[in-house]
Amino acid sequence: MNAKFNIGDTVYRGTYERHEKWVTCPDCLGSTHIKVVLGDGTEIEIECGGCDPGGYQPSTGIIRQYDYESIARKFVVTGVKVTTIDVNYELDNFGSGSYYTGDDGNVFATREEAIAKAGEDRIKYEDEENKRLMAKTKNHKSWAWNATYHRTCIKRFKDALEYHNKKIKISEAKAKDVRS
Ligand SMILES: [Zn+2]
């Protein structure tokens, strides 16, 4: 293989910058709650699972997404390694301990070429990451689970409340017996 660039050449390598943006949750449309109709016709309102940030935080009504911007970074070739199958470049390796690498597939003579290459990959990454962040929405199984879970808890606490109330009444009754 012949190297396209030599030590000391200025080259451009494409990359992208992520810009955070927030979009309205498509499940609750920002209201943070959704209505669920259970099998017996009972309609209940639960916190939206689509924009639930997890933990004890309440649902937010918004979902994080990213815009990717293709950019080109300028480097100086500081090393060239040629093998029979490819060419590798060391970039900005001035001995400070941090440097980058590139090859003939992603290092270019002009900023425009580098940005064009970054643009090809960008769309794929952007789409994949945003899909992943959206993955929780439209998850009917987890909504149903949430609804069932909260109802079970309410029933359990109601039973517990009844039990403890009874205990106290008994004690009060007993206390009265002692006094009288
Ligand atoms: Zn939501």
CB contact at 8 A, 147 and 44: yes
Ligand 1 centroid from CA 137, angstroms: 7
Asked if pLDDT for residue 140 goes beyond 70, the answer is no
User: And the tokens for 161?
Assistant: 């409340």
Q: Which pLDDT value is given to residue 5?
A: 95
H helix or E strand, kind and range, residue 122: helix 111-134
Q: pTM for this structure?
A: 0.55
pLDDT tens for residues 4-58? 999 999 999 988 888 999 999 988 999 999 888 878 888 888 888 889 888 889 9
Q: Specify the pLDDT at position 68.
A: 87
69 by Cβ neighbours in 10 Å (0-12 / 13-18 / 19+) ranks as middle
Ligand 1 centre to CA of 129 (Å) is 18
Cα 49 to ligand 1 centroid, rounded to whole Å: 6
Least confident of 12-21, 125-134, 164-173: 164-173
Mean pLDDT score across all residues of the chain: 87
Ligand 1 centroid to Cα of residue 52, in Å, is: 7
Q: What is the mean pLDDT of residues 145-156?
A: 78
Query: What local confidence, expressed as pLDDT, does residue 50 receive?
Result: 86
